[in-house]
Structure 1
Amino acid sequence: MKSKNSKTMSLPGKLPVHHLLPFVITAAAFLILFLPKQPTLQNVMLKCLPVLYLMCYLAYTEKGRGESKIVIPALAFSLIGDGLLNFPGTLFVEGLIAFSFAQVLYTATFGFKRINVWTGITLYGASGALLLFIIPNVNATLKIAVPVYALLIFTMLWRALDRYSYAEDICYERRLCSVLGAVVFIISDACIAFLQLMNLMPKYPAQIIILSTYFLAQLLLTLGAAKKFWDAKYRIKEKK
């Protein structure tokens, strides 16, 4: 039985970063060993493994509760997009559609409870400026698909920023990871547009930049939803 005078105190704990090692290993293995090769079923599967691990990690640790119940399907749509984008000449638009669903789900995770309109206006202005450079260099189909996708991903960043500013009931680290994940995701997609579609860099180094930033973005967005991961930062101990 607890004493009437008992109190609780928090002590610094260690983050379970070792839980992220399978993600790091599979992502590095793909970038180093398989990325230089032609797309095959084997390397497509390896490309999907890092994101698949993040899905399993959230499902196991969060038990489908909280933000994870939306982020897991977002990762699943990203997984589909991963596979489709291995065939950019034929299935690029389909891959873009899959990632569009992922962005909608990430946006739903961050919500619209509190809105800073000026943040949204600023981000949409930045999106429009980027599109001025991209749109003249893509085919007719992408002239429609790319602006729609840009609208979705910049909305996702907008909601992540407002969540960072207003959702003080969520720990600082989670909010920061979500914002950084959204920013890095946009950087990765901008690299696809500028380095790959516009051929501003040879394919292999461009792919290294695109996929390394993509994997990092998904990791950060996952950590933004991983409440249990950050709860481990402090251990609660009863003090008599």
Structure 2
Amino acid sequence: MDILETDAYDRRQRRNTSCVLFLFLLPFFASAALYFHLWIPLSAPSILAAGVKAAPVLSLTFVVLKYNGGWSLLGVTGGLVMSAGGDICLIWPNLFLMGMVCFALAHLFYTLSFLSSRYSSHSSSSCGLYFFYLLLWGAGGGIYFYLLPFLQKSPEPEIFVPAVGGYVLLIVLMTTFAARTRQPLVLLGALVFMVSDFTLALQQFKVVEHLDYGRHIVMTTYYLAQLLIAIGDIQATIAEQAEELHKWKRS
């Protein structure tokens, strides 16, 4: 009877937690809807445009901080803050390189989070996982060498050739550790992030002259990636807290 009561309690707790999390995420959905309604990329660069673009990611920052505490500033929260900084920079075309730096730092923060103790108990290696790593790094290398001729034709090839190479290295590294966590939402978020950045690179470096709904694809996948990573990180924290509670009950 005690076991049945415990299971029922756990189910109620998970249901209540999901409802509360959804309520906390409402500002993200509202601000993302506002961004697409105003369609900021078509407007002139301004502080207002930067604020509207960064608002969805900043709202996720507060949600993750609420669940994970201040230490997460060195993890997913820090990554979201850096991403918001990148969003602001990309409003102004001449700050594109600075935006890349911000997002590169975001990937470093995400990687640090995926190496934390909250994920270590779930991480493991297998032949299938190593094969996935091989495909992932092969895809990353293939993307870079595909972009390389266009990077060499960019206005500042001496900067963008190594900068994009370093960026690709960091995002693939982040995705590798996301796969290591065995958290589906985290891994899916990292992969969608790669899709978003690759789509942006195709347009930024003139690989394609015109991509139908290119900006829509970039921003939709970008916001989705951040949402998945944030929820996955919160779920890891909740799971860790539940595991500690069960250990305390058994002791």
Taking structure 1 as the reference length, what is the TM-score of the superposition?
0.80
Does 1:56 pair with 2:54?
Answer: no
- Counterparts of 1:32-181 in structure 2, within 5 Å, are 32-35=37-40, 36-64=42-70, 70-88=75-93, 90-111=94-115, 114=124, 117-138=130-151, 139=154, 140=157, 141-164=159-182, 175-181=183-189
Supply the distance in 1 between the matched residues of 2:3 and 2:30 (Cα, whole angstroms).
48
Supply the distance in 2 between the matched residues of 1:5 and 1:97 (Cα, whole angstroms).
51
Q: For structure 2, list consecutive stretches of 5 or more residues without a partner in the other structure.
A: 246-251
* Matched length: 219
- The answer for the alignment partner of 1:220 in structure 2 is 228
- In the alignment, which of 197, 213, 227 is matched to residue 205 of structure 2? 197
Supply the distance in 1 between the matched residues of 2:203 and 2:95 (Cα, whole angstroms).
18
% same residue: 28
* Deviation for aligned residue 1:87: 1.6
Say if 1:62 and 1:227, in contact at 8 Å, map to a contact too: no
SS in 2 for 1:200: coil
Say if 1:50 and 1:215, in contact at 8 Å, map to a contact too: yes
Quick one: which amino acid aligns to residue 180 of structure 1?
A: L
Does 1:29 pair with 2:42?
Answer: no
Quick one: which amino acid aligns to residue 138 of structure 2?
A: G
Supply the distance in 2 between the matched residues of 1:18 and 1:229 (Cα, whole angstroms).
18
Cα 1:219–1:211, aligned 2, differ >3 Å: closer, same or farther? Answer: same
- In the alignment, which of 181, 188, 192 is matched to residue 184 of structure 1? 192
Larger relative contact order (Cα-Cα within 8 Å, sequence gap ≥ 6): 1
Higher strand share: 1
Deviation larger for 14-23 or 44-53: 14-23
Higher helix share: 2
Supply the distance in 1 between the matched residues of 2:65 and 2:236 (Cα, whole angstroms).
11
Residues 45-75 of structure 1: CA deviation (Å, up to 9, x unaligned)? 111111111111111233336x675111111
- The answer for the alignment partner of 2:249 in structure 1 is none
* Deviation for aligned residue 1:206: 1.9
Supply the distance in 2 between the matched residues of 1:6 and 1:51 (Cα, whole angstroms).
40
Deviation larger for 193-202 or 46-55: 193-202
SS in 2 for 1:198: coil
* Deviation for aligned residue 1:106: 0.8
- The answer for the alignment partner of 2:7 in structure 1 is 9
Say if 2:147 and 2:207, in contact at 8 Å, map to a contact too: no
SS in 2 for 1:226: helix
